[in-house]
């Protein structure tokens, strides 16, 4: 029988990415640029929410958007057309998430010196993006009413890494037996510190609260 | 400006849109570094510790591993051995441990929700094996 030589590694697969992410975050802090990592399921209304949000904050902040998708540039084009905000498309080449290195490569394509805020629209998926720290200052996620109020129970990691949970499509709540109080309770179970903002991206309801949150966040990031 | 930034990392088919592929790229990178540091020319097996609630699907990880490892001289034919680490939760209220998968967030002894995962979310490269 062959002799087998064993070399111990004992290393978490996420260790290198975590280091890259911490480095990126420190650089962003130094440059005074706030990076928000926005996650959700496909079809939760990320792009529509962004368009509404951008139209409220674009006069107050210098902002750019990075759209991460497996393919196509429909979202980036839509953002540019409907808000005038610069938007770049990142293709993940089949990968279901962005890591810190890909985020950095994306940031190399926006002019950071002219920006206060970059919003990264991560790949629509509640599992993988939660595992890979992108280097963003904060993580936010959009949960839409048709997905159900028990989502935080099913995707614990996603909800435990998010600082902000936006509940979208609240206009259709009665049709989906969506219990918003239950939803709040489940989110808090995963992350007691998470902020929750209910909105309807279609009508614009609650988007002002979201704009307020982001303005405060960016201001804190730059001044503290 | 609508610039495109395309990550040409792979040409996998669309059926493989899962995070196990990303994980495999990280494993390969770490194994390459370890092999180089130890002057190893070919690795025969990589041993992983995967937690029961790590969100990794071992079968997918194996599929992705085969696809990606065989494209590397260092890892051609190398086996991926997976140890599953059972998930255990700690209840801070009644100070007990219980199996996570069976009972989830709520302690089966006292019904408290003040519980934390002790282990079971590992995605760790344990060791590499080289036949001499």
Q: Mind listing the pLDDT tens digit for each residue in B77-130? A: 999 999 999 999 999 999 999 999 888 888 999 999 888 899 998 999 999 999
B4 occurs within a structural domain: no
CATH 3.40.50.300 correct for A15-223:
yes
SS3 for A82? helix
Q: Sorting pLDDT into bands at 50, 70 and 90, what band is B67? A: very high
Using a CB-CB cut-off of 8 Å, the residues of chain B touching A127 are 19, 55
Q: Is the pLDDT of residue B49 over 60?
A: yes
Question: In degrees to the nearest 10, what's the CA dihedral of A99, A104, A109, A112?
Answer: 130
B32 occurs within a structural domain: yes
Q: Report long-range pairs for A147-153 (Cβ below 8 Å, ≥24 apart).
A: A147/A41, A147/A44, A148/A176, A148/A178, A149/A178, A149/A179, A149/A180, A149/A182, A149/A183, A149/A186, A150/A182, A150/A186, A151/A126, A151/A183, A151/A186, A152/A183, A152/A186, A152/A187, A152/A189, A152/A190, A153/A186, A153/A189, A153/B105
Q: pLDDT tens across A181-210, in order?
A: 999 999 998 888 999 999 999 999 999 999
Place of tokens 């005038």: A84
Q: Is the pLDDT of residue A97 over 50?
A: yes
Task: Tell me how close the Cα of B71 comes to any Cα of chain A, in angstroms.
Answer: 17
Place of tokens 């792009």: A47
Give me chain A's average pLDDT, please: 92
A5 to chain B: nearest residue by CA? B130
Q: Is the pLDDT of residue A131 over 60?
A: yes
Average pLDDT over residues A54-81: 88
- Nearest Cβ partner for A17 among B5, B6, B26: B26
Top mean-pLDDT range of A53-57, B3-7, B22-26: A53-57
User: What is residue B12's predicted lDDT score, i.e. its pLDDT?
Assistant: 39
Task: Tell me how close the Cα of A224 comes to any Cα of chain B, in angstroms.
Answer: 32
**CA dist., res. A46 & res. A163, Å (int):** 16
Domain residue limits, chain A: 15-223
Q: Does A14 touch chain B (CB under 8 A)?
A: yes
Whether complex ipTM tops 0.90? no
- What CATH number is associated with residue B43? 3.30.2320.50
Contact (CB<8Å) B7/A109: no
In the sheet that B88-91 helps form, which strands lie side by side, from edge to edge? B96-99, B88-91, B115-119
B29 occurs within a structural domain: yes
Contact (CB<8Å) A91/B4: yes
Q: Is the pLDDT of residue B5 over 90?
A: no
B94 occurs within a structural domain: no
Contact (CB<8Å) A12/B123: yes
| Domain, as residue range, for B54 | 18-86+120-129
**CA dist., res. A67 & res. A46, Å (int):** 10
B46 occurs within a structural domain: yes
B105 occurs within a structural domain: no
**C-alpha distance from residue A95 to each of A24, A128, B8, B121 (Å):** 21, 9, 10, 21
Q: Is the pLDDT of residue B9 over 90?
A: no
Using a CB-CB cut-off of 8 Å, the residues of chain A touching B67 are none
In the sheet that A4-12 helps form, which strands lie side by side, from edge to edge? A4-12, B123-131, B45-51, B79-85
By the 10 Å C-beta count (0-12 exposed, 13-18 middle, 19+ buried), A223 is classed as exposed
Q: Does A104 touch chain B (CB under 8 A)?
A: no
Tally of structural domains, chain B:
1
Best probe of the A interface among B4, B10, B19, by most A CBs < 10 A, is: B19
**CA dist., res. A150 & res. B92, Å (int):** 24
User: What is residue B1's predicted lDDT score, i.e. its pLDDT?
Assistant: 41
Q: Does A87 touch chain B (CB under 8 A)?
A: yes
B13 occurs within a structural domain: no
Q: At what angle do helices B19-37 and B58-69 cross, to 10 degrees?
A: 50
Average pLDDT over residues B25-29: 93
What is the distance of C-alpha A19 from the center of its chain? 19
Contact (CB<8Å) A14/B27: no
Average pLDDT over residues A43-50: 92
B99 occurs within a structural domain: no
């Amino acid at each position: 029988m062959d002799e087998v030589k064993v070399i111990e590694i004992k290393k978490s697969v996420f260790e290198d990415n975590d280091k890259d992410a911490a480095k990126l975050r420190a650089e962003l802090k130094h440059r005074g640029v706030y990076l928000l990592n926005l996650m959700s399921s496909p079809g939760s209304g990320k792009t529509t929410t962004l368009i509404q949000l951008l139209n409220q904050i674009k006069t107050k902040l210098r902002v750019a958007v990075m759209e991460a998708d497996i393919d196509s540039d429909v979202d980036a084009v839509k953002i540019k057309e409907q808000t005038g905000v610069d938007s770049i498309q990142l293709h993940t080449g089949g990968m279901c998430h962005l890591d810190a290195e890909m985020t950095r490569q994306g940031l190399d394509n926006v002019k950071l010196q002219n920006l206060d805020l970059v919003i990264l629209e991560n790949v629509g998926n509640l599992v993988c993006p939660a595992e890979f720290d992108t280097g963003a200052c904060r993580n936010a996620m959009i949960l839409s009413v048709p997905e159900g109020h028990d989502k935080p129970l099913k995707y614990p990691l996603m909800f435990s890494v998010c600082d902000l949970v936006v509940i979208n499509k609240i206009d259709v709540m009665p049709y989906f037996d969506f219990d918003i109080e239950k939803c709040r309770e489940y989110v808090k179970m995963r992350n007691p510190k998470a902020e929750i903002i209910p909105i309807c991206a279609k009508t614009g309801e609650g988007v002002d609260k979201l704009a307020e949150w982001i303005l405060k966040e960016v201001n804190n990031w730059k001044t503290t | 400006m609508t610039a495109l930034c395309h990550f040409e990392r792979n040409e996998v088919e669309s059926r493989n849109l899962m995070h196990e592929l990303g994980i495999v790229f990280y494993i390969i990178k770490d194994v390459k570094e370890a092999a180089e540091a130890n002057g190893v020319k070919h690795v025969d097996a990589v041993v992983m510790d995967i937690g029961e609630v790590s969100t990794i699907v071992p079968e997918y990880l194996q599929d992705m591993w085969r696809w990606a490892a065989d494209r590397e001289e260092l890892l051609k034919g190398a086996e991926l051995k997976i140890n599953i680490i059972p998930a255990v939760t700690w209840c801070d209220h009644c100070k007990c441990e219980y199996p996570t998968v069976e009972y989830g967030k709520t302690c089966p002894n006292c019904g408290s929700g003040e519980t934390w995962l002790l282990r079971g979310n590992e995605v760790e490269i344990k060791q590499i094996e080289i036949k001499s």
